[in-house]
Structure 1
Amino acid sequence: MPELPEVETTRRGIATIMPGRVLRRFNVHEARMRWPVPEHLAQTISGHVVQSCERRGKYLLINFRHGTQIVHLGMSGSLRSTPLDGDRRKHDHAEWLFDDARFLLHDPRRFGAILWHPAADGPVSAHPLLARLGIEPFDPAFTGDYLHSHLQGKTVAIKQALLAGNIVVGAGNIYASEALFRSGIDPRTRAGTLSRPRCGRLAQAIRDTLGDALESGGSTLRDYVNATGAPGAYFELHAAVYEKQGKPCPACATPIRRIVQGQRATYFCPRCQRR
């Protein structure tokens, strides 16, 4: 699934082109996605100027004066720039056409979403999909103290607490495994038992892991491409533990272990990462 670095990389790509331009046509080629694309969305936004392109968690927010288009890339989707006269591929379900630019949403599994939040309904942050999201990892308020206070009383494993997304967004399955390795924390540790100093190390590791991923453009998907069509290569080059089962830990050479938590694979070093 495209995670925060992939979505942010996509946002940066579309943000260099869309804002300030008139969306000449928005075409829906397949409305049957995770939730149906609103029936009149094409008429609602075609002919209007894109004001800005933002992100909240893993949601892209394409802002117009009269509302916000909320886009989710689903399990394997991408939003990419294509030539104006290029062919539309199978699974290209939606199309943004400008005078000199064209973007296509590609989503083979149709687990993504394209929704509309009218400005009359209040700030987009109040939308049900966004209202319960945790803090952004690069927000200055995301500190060890913040993390420690929000983990108090939680008996779930720290990896599960991070994946929930209601404390901090962006620490998806792969990035959580990597951040826990960097901070030396066993992923099975009960979240509420982490000390304030360990929370400080974990908060920094989350920022560093996601920051490194952003520098390389992602990727949590083997076939992920960003808004310009370029592939991501982060984990091919830099993963320390993810999908490294049985290989030597880069710090101590102990074989990396794989366990399953909440039906998700977790990788860690049993020597470097302590409960």
Structure 2
Amino acid sequence: MPELPEVEVLRRSLEPLIIGDTIARVEVWNASLREPVDRRKLERLTSGRTIRSVRRRAKYLLADLDGGTTLVTHLGMSGRMTLVADGVPRELHEHVAFFLDSGRRLRLRDPRRFGLVLVMGTDELDEDRHFRHLGIEPLGNGFGGRELESLARRRRAPVKSFLMDARVLVGVGNIYASEALYRAGIHPTRSVSRISSVRWQRLADSIRQTLSQAVQEGGTTLNDFADGRGREGMFQVSLATYDREGETCGRCGGTIRRIVQSGRSTYYCPGCQR
């Protein structure tokens, strides 16, 4: 599933290409995504509107249009949003496309159909059910060890589960939680009630460093992800633990192990992480 770095990479790749362009029309070939696409509302609130900015909140891509409207997309498990020439043939699993005045098409391809396409008033975003319970941004100015420690107070959850709770911290999914905990030297099953202030700061630094490096390397492409130009990421080459069960730890020479937490695979080094 695309996580924060992948959506940020997508945002950065699309921003210089589509700002100032106008949506001429919309095509919805398959409305059956995670939530049904409202064809009429999408057409009514986006056609003829110019794209003014492209930003990100958590794993959502937000395109602000003139007239106070925002187009919201989520890639789900397997989505790709790419910009192609209008004449490029429609791909299998291409469910929604925005045809631009510049003669290009911004298309959402989503084989598993867990993606999301919504449109709403920009001033409605903060109170919308998709956004109002979201936690802090790990690449934002208000993120650090002190904030993590405060959010963990009176909790006893395993630290990896805590990091993946979007009500606490957004965009840190399975891959980056495993990698950040490895860099911080913290065991994924350790209770958040047993982490010192010093280690919280180390973990916050590791999260920020891991996510920033992933963005710089174009995200992680294990199966589906590509940026707005169709380029795949390279951070999978830098993964130290994720999907490396049985391989040698590059730091201590031990063996990377895999456990299951809340139905998700967790990878860690028992020699480096305590």
Scaled to the shorter chain, the TM-score interval is over 0.9
- C-alpha displacement of 1:39: 3.0
- C-alpha displacement of 1:46: 0.6
Alignment of 1:42-191 (within 5 A): 42-64=43-65, 65-100=67-102, 101-119=104-122, 122-191=123-192
| Cα distance in 2 between the residues matched to 1:92 and 1:239 | 30
- C-alpha displacement of 1:43: 2.5
- C-alpha displacement of 1:26: 1.7
Determine helix, strand or coil for the equivalent of 2:163: helix
Question: 2:32 corresponds to which residue?
Answer: 32
- C-alpha displacement of 1:220: 4.7
TM-score (structure 1 length as normaliser): 0.95
Q: Is the contact made by 1:2 and 1:221 (CA closer than 8 Å) also made in structure 2?
A: no
Question: 1:240 corresponds to which residue?
Answer: 240
- C-alpha displacement of 1:63: 1.0
Deviations 1:169-218 (A, max 9, x none): 12110000000000000000001221111010000000000011001111
Q: Is the contact made by 1:247 and 1:256 (CA closer than 8 Å) also made in structure 2?
A: yes
| Cα distance in 2 between the residues matched to 1:90 and 1:67 | 29
- Count, aligned residues: 271
Deviations 1:137-190 (A, max 9, x none): 111110110011111111110000011112211211000000000000000000
Question: Match of 2:47, as an amino acid?
Answer: S
Determine helix, strand or coil for the equivalent of 1:161: helix
| Cα distance in 1 between the residues matched to 2:118 and 2:194 | 39
| Cα distance in 2 between the residues matched to 1:204 and 1:212 | 12
- C-alpha displacement of 1:125: 2.0
Q: Is the contact made by 1:2 and 1:74 (CA closer than 8 Å) also made in structure 2?
A: yes
- C-alpha displacement of 1:99: 2.3
Determine helix, strand or coil for the equivalent of 1:17: helix
Question: 2:198 corresponds to which residue?
Answer: 197
Q: Is the contact made by 2:159 and 2:188 (CA closer than 8 Å) also made in structure 1?
A: yes
Question: 1:263 corresponds to which residue?
Answer: 263
| Cα distance in 1 between the residues matched to 2:221 and 2:227 | 12
TM-score (structure 2 length as normaliser): 0.96
Determine helix, strand or coil for the equivalent of 2:14: helix
Question: 1:207 corresponds to which residue?
Answer: 208
Question: Match of 1:104, as an amino acid?
Answer: R
Runs of 5+ in structure 1 lacking a partner?
A: none
Determine helix, strand or coil for the equivalent of 1:51: strand
Q: Percent identity?
A: 40
| Cα distance in 1 between the residues matched to 2:154 and 2:246 | 34
| Cα distance in 2 between the residues matched to 1:217 and 1:32 | 29
| Cα distance in 1 between the residues matched to 2:176 and 2:45 | 37
Deviations 1:84-103 (A, max 9, x none): 21000111011111122221
| Cα distance in 1 between the residues matched to 2:118 and 2:71 | 6
